[in-house]
Structure 1
Amino acid sequence: MKSEVYLIQNGITKLKSKNVLLGNSNEIDSLDNASINKKAEKLFSEIVDFSVTSTDTIEKKIGSWAKLSSKNYTFYLPSNSVLFALENGTFVCKSEENICKEVE
């Protein structure tokens, strides 16, 4: 998960840089076109070059991401889940501080 979070954050940074170079001042407001809370969707497709296939909040497949809303995601670990959100063009951990420190 740590490497995926890093790649997602790096992909956002690259897209921001590309937008600046192109003179595009649009804020990043979407990471993918996936449906919310649906299995087998391609997540983060707007910012990474590899496939991240979603789970849903019923299956909660360990080691997988679920899309909770247009800007909110969760990653399922064996003992809990970690919440992330796209805020102000940044992918940030929204879980308890001790969990976020462990995964970032």
Structure 2
Amino acid sequence: MSVKFSYQAAVALVAGLAAVLAPDLWSDGAGREPLIVLGALLALTGLFGLLGRAGPSEWTVTAFAVLLFVAPWAWQFTGDDGAAWTAWIAGAVTVIVGLYATYAAPARAAAS
């Protein structure tokens, strides 16, 4: 089993793990369900990407990250700073890296 490093997969894995751990570590249980579910989905897509398995595309990872970013408003836990900021930061960073990876990869392939 070879591990193929990609920044998008690594960021998705770390952001997903942060979101999964956030309700118990620094947010007093607020936003537990959306953070755990969306964080687990992000972490799994990142793990699949690092292991080089055929799985979710870059767009799927980016979509999960957008859902994580929107989660504080959708599940109304914007009042809890720990959970909301975790979702916003993890979601935004993963979306930015995901979009960069999606658009930069074809440009690099075409240039070489």
TM-score after normalising by structure 2: 0.31
- State which structure, 1 or 2, has the greater radius of gyration over its C-alpha atoms: 2
Q: Which has the higher strand share?
A: 1
TM-score after normalising by structure 1: 0.33
Q: Which has the higher helix share?
A: 2
